[in-house]
Amino acid sequence: MPLLRTLTCVLALVAALALPALAAPQAPLSEATQACLDCHNDATPGIVADWRRGRMSQKTPAQALQEPEAARRVSAKKVPADLMLVAVGCAECHTGDAKAHADSFDHGGYQVHPVVTPADCARCHPQEREQYSHNLMAHARGNLINNPIYMDLALQVNGVPKVEGGKAVLTPPSALAEAESCLYCHGTEIKVEGKLTRDTGDFGEMEFPKLSGWPNRGVGRKNPDGTLGSCSACHTRHQFAIEMARSPYTCSECHKGPDVPVYKVYQVSKHGNIYYAMHKQWDMAKVPWTPGKDFTAPTCAACHVSLLSDAGGNVIAQRTHQMTDRLWVRLLGLIYAHPQPKSPETWKITNANGRTLATTLTGQPAAKFLIDAHEQKARQERMAKVCGACHAQGWVQGQFARLDQTVKDSDAMVLAATRLMMEAWQKGLAQGPPKASPFDEYVEMLWTRQWLFYANSTRFASAMMGADMGVFDNGRWDMNKTVRHLEDWIKVHQKP
Amino acid sequence: MPLLRTLTCVLALVAALALPALAAPQAPLSEATQACLDCHNDATPGIVADWRRGRMSQKTPAQALQEPEAARRVSAKKVPADLMLVAVGCAECHTGDAKAHADSFDHGGYQVHPVVTPADCARCHPQEREQYSHNLMAHARGNLINNPIYMDLALQVNGVPKVEGGKAVLTPPSALAEAESCLYCHGTEIKVEGKLTRDTGDFGEMEFPKLSGWPNRGVGRKNPDGTLGSCSACHTRHQFAIEMARSPYTCSECHKGPDVPVYKVYQVSKHGNIYYAMHKQWDMAKVPWTPGKDFTAPTCAACHVSLLSDAGGNVIAQRTHQMTDRLWVRLLGLIYAHPQPKSPETWKITNANGRTLATTLTGQPAAKFLIDAHEQKARQERMAKVCGACHAQGWVQGQFARLDQTVKDSDAMVLAATRLMMEAWQKGLAQGPPKASPFDEYVEMLWTRQWLFYANSTRFASAMMGADMGVFDNGRWDMNKTVRHLEDWIKVHQKP
Amino acid sequence: MPLLRTLTCVLALVAALALPALAAPQAPLSEATQACLDCHNDATPGIVADWRRGRMSQKTPAQALQEPEAARRVSAKKVPADLMLVAVGCAECHTGDAKAHADSFDHGGYQVHPVVTPADCARCHPQEREQYSHNLMAHARGNLINNPIYMDLALQVNGVPKVEGGKAVLTPPSALAEAESCLYCHGTEIKVEGKLTRDTGDFGEMEFPKLSGWPNRGVGRKNPDGTLGSCSACHTRHQFAIEMARSPYTCSECHKGPDVPVYKVYQVSKHGNIYYAMHKQWDMAKVPWTPGKDFTAPTCAACHVSLLSDAGGNVIAQRTHQMTDRLWVRLLGLIYAHPQPKSPETWKITNANGRTLATTLTGQPAAKFLIDAHEQKARQERMAKVCGACHAQGWVQGQFARLDQTVKDSDAMVLAATRLMMEAWQKGLAQGPPKASPFDEYVEMLWTRQWLFYANSTRFASAMMGADMGVFDNGRWDMNKTVRHLEDWIKVHQKP
């Protein structure tokens, strides 16, 4: 078949060269978006080209609404008329409802707001916005800022020590430091501080709003229109590819460090291994998403967010942007694991000692703020249904039984360290609550690692099969080491 | 050429849409497998769809046996007649030889065993099973469970401390905790503990065997039929793609933590860098596998397992599932590096002091249990031949000379730390063997890091060019730090 | 459209099978290269096949010179006549100018030098070689070897401790150990130590030069022809794919450890997330490279090296192999951050105390060796132009303001630790400079982590949005912990 082969070679070569031309055609543009592009094609060519690659530039809402319901990505029943027949372009997101957006400014004759918010996205995606508002993440900023205990820990992170007379004293952190540490993920507050003039080069001097807390894409960002969150934290601008939101890398941005090593666990899990080795064969963009057919191992999104159905169209799990929907126990222990909170505003929890924590220092849960056994069971069953797409019940129940045990064991290991910590406080070897910070001495930092790093790592490893993350890689061995370290520290320090 | 381009665009677009249709057609199914699929298409759609993607569903053993020998993946000369002409489906692996499988149970009229074992796989792959039985990994569970020294260390990992009267006392770990820590990789023992009834939803109540140690895919798993190992540890179910077994991610599942940071080293090695950057251009499924042509840098499998040949068909390395075939020195030091053991059952080794270790505490090897210089040389030459596919001899010998030196240096660094540890024991600052555990005090855990984390990391970095993994990232600097730390600890603790 | 679909399936299937045949044809070979291949096709089939995949084997310099200037990868105006019309093959790089190469030896009738150097590459790429000679990396070896302070630190890494009488004494490291630790990245010196004879198997006994320091691809390698550097550190042999040099994995080889965790930061940055999730849709080989169109997030190369232009051909950034061109502050603090050095030979810097460091121990910069504010501004503007391809000015300025603050904060945190360290020295609790090494005691190693690991991690996280790398993952929390640890250490050690 040399002739056919030659012909095919030629065709395939030409096809490869022609592939960029295959991108779906540009949807019609609004006059305003065309005006934006007239300058921004030159001013910021990268984001314009990025946007052209995405579905937002290629389909109008009217077209999107014509998809069968299961495949539809727009959750609005009705989209405002002026948006219906044009691409979702610059102006469709960055202008509109100007009064609500405190950062709106006159820019080439349009009222433009730089900070696109959930309210903007909700014009087409109201259901996702509504769900997300019940999600812990939407409140990630408030839950930190309003909780004096967490803010005390944050001070030990971002405060700048100055040594005088052999003693280190902390200077409170600047807003800039907070914005790029805790608030990078939790979200800054973006405020309009006035106006400023910039030389934009080819376009001359122009006036812009002066924003504090900018840039930021934190999940609990407080926006100039008062809304909470940033959809672009996961739905990365300006291509807004669903492939990206579904990729585990997106979650890794905030979930990889030693305090929340979820992505590190996923990386060494069987699920992760399958993803890395095989995902080039998958369809990461299909809606709804069919296990086995479109993908052969879950990413974070598959278990926690996405609409899953089988090949026959039967729904396995509904799409949710309230990601605690399928989670019954909060593994991120501060300082113990506990049932998920009823309200996403965790700073409103008070424990039996009147502190803003979901458990006491010895592990008693603040039960009235936490979901009950019935709700826990309902959520576990929802997750079990996801697992059940590929695993028999015996497999799933075996997995859950281990997680239950790990929660108990890790809590006991945190308690052991905490009892030693309390002993050090009682003996006056360290200064603890209520009069002093429990986070600002060396020995307290050893104790902090126990619940903030090691217990969390061990629990996540249990939940998602992360092997060594629950053993020698910030796992159980490290927890036993902390206990021995605290014993040793106390022994040395109580010598006369 | 606009016309041709347009034509090609259309063709390519249609081709892209049609691609799933290109999957090889389903091989004929046995009646039993068809019966499985009748329900499991709905019950566990993910694994069914996953299996359909793989070669097992697309070729009968008869077809597989027709491949030229070098390309053949089935090592049996003869496959049982009832398997020859059907796809390798559910029933072909999960039924058969029911009496040997203690987990067999009546399921829809068939005797089904959930736990597929090496004996099942060996019907078509007897050579791989035979080789693997000589591999250290097949004995990973026994080598841990039967070695009292290792089990003492495991207790310091999984035991749960309870603090009473200022002292932490360990409670022995539960079977659940062991199953998800050490035994997750080493392998659990799967036992039938009775029967239980489950509500399977659409299919009503059904009876299943109650399994302990389940789920597990550990490499040394003890199966209900008495066999050792789980082929699916690396040959991931149910697609069983050779691409996946050859991907480095598969090995990372158990070889990434600080005790065996092999994958971490690979990630920053030149080989790893080439893999990550270029492997989308490679053919990861070709058998035999040709360096340079099919792939341009080795994955774990290329050096340790795969059949390699040059473009002319000359064999560079034979396929082996006894992965120590190309390894002469055991770099994983417990507590020193040493020649590979003769038998894969390392728990049968006793050193000069009668302990179950391949060296004494000061480094004397248990020579009669270890391969001799002649066998070491033979294995090194086998590996050198793999290297030689791309590297000149001078390059390879230079690399090996460094590894030799690193083994010596790292052993000397472990010895230095051990001498300090022994001093602490002798002075009564810590309680060591033979009366007390060498692993359960803070200072002993500092010493443990020296040989379990840092020496291993340094040696693996040397073997595979892992740069900082042998320097500041759990490398030589950390080893010198341990020595200084132990000195400091002794100084403080021997104050009156 | 079943007919069309079927037709397309067939075509696409055939196309897939035919794809390898699409590789660009082999360019004509020189007689010498043909002679090399006659044996090396069998002797080292992997590298031959690897080379055949690359542009060097597929285009002659004459063809390369015909490309439009912006797309041209050859920077020579004129290439030597004997190279013009043949592929850049074995002989073109490994023979030629034999007298200059001390490692040249007679091999099959040709004067072959194993170690290809920048002088060889410069025949076609003189501009890159010239730029690179001004790059810090070209001097990476000298900057280490000639700086007694750095070599003292290197001794604490590679020296082998021996414990005698309860005290550890360091034995100086072997050349082999240095070659695979610090010098693996910084570069060895490759010297011809004589000749040796090897049995090459099928080709019989042959004589080769005996090289010390080999193998090595360090960026500051000292070559047998006296040149500095190894182009193949990043332009990996023998495919020399630009896709690889532009991939972040290449940089990770030397920039991932805790001392320079640049790649770790990139991995969790938004830029990194976009790269990992989306780069299979990108054109990693296009020259010039267009943000948004060819790629939607920068790799290391995009910001630091590559020629970038917009879709209209306007240059955004010129290609540079002096990578400090777009960098104003040196974030790698030894021990503080400081303006970039004027000369790439940093070992020639002396601070106010006469030490070979860019700052004093308390942070005073050696200003006359460092670039001034004007040059810093020029470099920052060059980088801002790269950012500006996708980001508005307000975004970029907000990002830079945070980095400025982080440099200040991290320097203050290093100063706090240093003041405590100096206190320990002054009190005689540890022995410091000028009489003793500042790196060889446990407490000094705690202090070393502050500036070598944590301050660097925090600054890189700030520069490239690495979230937790600036918080709990060797970040600010770890810096505050070091300060508390040093306080605690002093308290314990000054007890009588």
Higher pLDDT, A334 or C214: C214
Residue contact A252–C274, C-beta within 8 A: no
Contact B227, B102 (CB under 8 A): no
A436 touches chain C (CB under 8 A): no
Contacts of B255 (CB under 8 A, 6+ apart): B261, B262, B263
C120-176 tens-digit pLDDT: 999 999 999 999 999 999 999 999 999 999 999 999 999 999 999 889 999 999 999
Contact C170, C161 (CB under 8 A): yes
Q: What is the pLDDT of residue C17?
A: 40
Q: What is the pLDDT of residue B444?
A: 98
**pTM for this model (two decimals):** 0.95
B386-443 tens-digit pLDDT: 999 999 999 999 999 999 999 999 999 999 999 999 999 999 999 999 999 999 999 9
Report the 10 Å Cβ neighbour count for A301: 22
Of C185, C206, C240, the domain-final residue: C240
Domain shared by A310 and A429, yes or no: yes
C391-437 tens-digit pLDDT: 999 999 999 999 999 999 999 999 999 999 999 999 999 999 999 99
Min CA distance, B271 vs chain C (Å)? 10
Domain shared by C431 and C470, yes or no: yes
- Give the best residue of B253, B450, B485 to mutate against chain A (max A CB count within 10 A): B253
Rounded-to-integer distance, Cα C315 and Cα C307, Å: 8
Of A240, A270, A294, the domain-final residue: A240
Domain shared by A489 and A365, yes or no: yes
- Which residues numbered 177-196 in C keep a CB inside 8 Å of some CB on B? 177, 179-182, 184-185
Domain shared by B469 and B442, yes or no: yes
Domain shared by A304 and A375, yes or no: yes
- The CA distances from residue A326 to A139, A375, A381, A383, A386, in Å, are 18, 10, 8, 5, 9
What's the mean pLDDT in B212-232?
Answer: 98
- CA A463-A466-A469 angle, to 5 degrees, is 110
Q: What is the pLDDT of residue C16?
A: 41
- Is the predicted ipTM greater than 0.85, yes or no? yes
Min CA distance, A50 vs chain C (Å)? 5
Residues in chain A with CB shorter than 8 Å from the CB of B42 are: 310, 312, 314
Q: What is the pLDDT of residue C24?
A: 61
Rounded-to-integer distance, Cα A235 and Cα B447, Å: 47
Q: What is the pLDDT of residue C18?
A: 40
Higher pLDDT, B276 or B10: B276
Domain shared by A297 and A368, yes or no: yes
Which among A267, A465, A483 is the nearest to B161, CB-wise? A483
Rounded-to-integer distance, Cα A122 and Cα A126, Å: 4
Domain assignment of residue A94, yes or no = no
The CATH number for A373's domain is: 1.20.850.10
Assigned token pair, B99: 């009496």
Q: Average model confidence (pLDDT) for chain C?
A: 94
B203 touches chain C (CB under 8 A): no
Q: Is pLDDT above 70 for B78?
A: yes
Residues in chain C with CB shorter than 8 Å from the CB of A11 are: 11, 15
Rounded-to-integer distance, Cα C476 and Cα C496, Å: 33
* Percent of chain B's residues with pLDDT above 90: 92
Of C209, C240, C271, the domain-final residue: C240
C59-111 tens-digit pLDDT: 999 999 999 999 999 999 999 999 999 999 999 999 999 999 999 999 999 99
Q: What is the pLDDT of residue B20?
A: 41
Q: Is pLDDT above 50 for B12?
A: no
Report the 10 Å Cβ neighbour count for B380: 17
Residue contact A473–B215, C-beta within 8 A: no
Which among B11, B247, B445 is the nearest to A484, CB-wise? B445
Domain shared by C263 and C195, yes or no: no
What's the mean pLDDT in B212-221?
Answer: 98
C248-287 tens-digit pLDDT: 999 999 999 999 999 999 999 999 999 999 999 999 999 9
Rg, chain C, Cα only: 26
What's the mean pLDDT in B246-252?
Answer: 97
Subunit partners of chain A (3 or more CB pairs within 8 A): B, C
Residue contact A22–B11, C-beta within 8 A: no
Return phi, psi of residue B111, to 5°.
Answer: -90, 100
Cβ-Cβ pairs closer than 8 A, A with C, add up to 211
Q: What is the pLDDT of residue A349?
A: 98
Q: Is pLDDT above 60 for C464?
A: yes
Q: Which residues span the domain enclosing A456?
A: 259-493
Domain shared by B368 and B335, yes or no: yes
Domain assignment of residue C187, yes or no = yes
Helix (H) or strand (E) holding C3, with range, is helix C2-18
Residues in chain C with CB shorter than 8 Å from the CB of B399 are: 215
Count the domains in chain C: 2
Domain assignment of residue B206, yes or no = yes
C3-24 tens-digit pLDDT: 444 444 444 444 444 444 345 6
Rounded-to-integer distance, Cα B381 and Cα B379, Å: 5
Min CA distance, C187 vs chain A (Å)? 32
Q: What is the pLDDT of residue B48?
A: 96
Q: What is the pLDDT of residue A467?
A: 85
Domain shared by B330 and B388, yes or no: yes
Domain shared by C278 and C182, yes or no: no
Domain assignment of residue A4, yes or no = no
DSSP, collapsed to helix, strand or coil, labels residue C299 as coil
A429 touches chain B (CB under 8 A): no
Q: Is pLDDT above 70 for C56?
A: yes
Angle, helix A476-493 to helix A393-426, in steps of 10 degrees:
10
- Give the best residue of C276, C480, C491 to mutate against chain A (max A CB count within 10 A): C480
Domain assignment of residue B19, yes or no = no
Subunit partners of chain B (3 or more CB pairs within 8 A): A, C
Q: What is the pLDDT of residue C6?
A: 42
The segments of chain A whose pLDDT lies below 70 read 1-24
Rounded-to-integer distance, Cα C237 and Cα C116, Å: 11
What's the mean pLDDT in C302-320?
Answer: 96
Residue contact C393–A167, C-beta within 8 A: no
B399 touches chain C (CB under 8 A): yes
A423 → chain B, closest CA residue: B166
**Token pair 């290449």: residue:** C250
Report the 10 Å Cβ neighbour count for A375: 14
Q: What is the pLDDT of residue C166?
A: 84
A395 touches chain B (CB under 8 A): yes
**Token pair 């509904």: residue:** A318
Domain assignment of residue A130, yes or no = yes
Residues in chain A with CB shorter than 8 Å from the CB of C480 are: 156-157, 159, 161, 170, 445
Assigned token pair, B468: 């900082």
B462 touches chain C (CB under 8 A): yes
Domain assignment of residue A287, yes or no = yes
Q: What is the pLDDT of residue C123?
A: 97
Confidence grade of residue B2 (pLDDT, cut at 50, 70, 90) = very low
Domain shared by B191 and B329, yes or no: no
Residue contact C18–A5, C-beta within 8 A: yes
Running DSSP on this structure, what letter comes out for residue C454? I
Cβ-Cβ pairs closer than 8 A, B with C, add up to 211
* Percent of chain C's residues with pLDDT above 90: 92
Give which of C454, C476, C407, C464 is closest to C263, Cα–Cα: C464
Domain shared by B217 and B284, yes or no: no
Domain assignment of residue C96, yes or no = no
- The region, left, alpha or beta by phi > 0 then psi within -120 to 50, assigned to residue C170 is beta
Q: What is the pLDDT of residue B71?
A: 96
